[in-house]
């Protein structure tokens, strides 16, 4: 197993059935609770654990999830409201994990933010039709257009990806 990609890389699947989307919505709803269960009883020492040399620690991973899933939320909203493929929202969001709040802030506010974001995303996705799911935005990091069907798949993969990192870190 590659500790950098413990669940593998995001597949970039292109076709999704209604059942696939329903499954991703259900997973989207459970991810924040999994983060809370893994991290709410950790002490500061545990929050400093890393899953591989040079990686982010558990605290940074939790804050990164809140930060990046906020970006996903805004990208999705742009795709739904702009007439053409939404331009990429550029950001060095990965660098945010190295800022003072990423290093030292309590994880509880980021867990609450993640719960709120995922609940809003799930509510929104439950109400999108097929035409909405085919709307897209440009993902500047991946340098591809991502449909909203792909976006929910990516958000779920990303959540599971960093959950696996936290589990690895806690085994160290």
Per-residue pLDDT at 1: 85
- When pLDDT is averaged across residues 78-84 and rounded to a whole number, the result is 84
- When pLDDT is averaged across residues 69-81 and rounded to a whole number, the result is 91
CATH annotation of 18-171? 1.20.120.450
Burial class of residue 102 (count of CB atoms within 10 Å of its CB; 0-12, 13-18, 19+): buried
- Mean confidence (pLDDT) of the chain: 93
pLDDT at 107 over 80: yes
Question: Which sequence spans correspond to the domains of the chain?
Answer: 18-171
- When pLDDT is averaged across residues 116-137 and rounded to a whole number, the result is 97
Per-residue pLDDT at 73: 93
């Amino acid at each position: 197993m590659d500790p950098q990609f413990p669940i593998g890389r995001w597949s970039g699947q292109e076709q999704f059935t209604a059942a696939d989307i329903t499954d991703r919505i259900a997973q989207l709803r459970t991810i924040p609770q999994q983060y809370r269960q893994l991290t709410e009883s950790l002490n500061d020492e545990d929050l400093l654990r890393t899953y591989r040399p040079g990686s982010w620690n558990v605290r940074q991973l939790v804050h990164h999830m809140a930060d990046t899933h906020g970006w996903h939320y805004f990208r999705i909203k742009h795709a739904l409201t702009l007439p053409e493929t939404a331009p990429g929202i550029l950001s060095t969001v990965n660098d945010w994990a190295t800022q003072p709040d990423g290093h030292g802030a309590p994880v509880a506010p980021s867990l609450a933010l993640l719960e709120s974001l995922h609940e809003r995303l799930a509510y929104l996705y439950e109400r999108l039709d097929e035409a909405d799911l085919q709307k897209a935005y440009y993902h500047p990091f991946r340098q591809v257009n991502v449909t909203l069907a792909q976006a929910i798949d990516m958000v779920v993969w990303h959540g599971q990806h960093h959950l696996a990192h936290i589990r690895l870190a806690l085994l160290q």
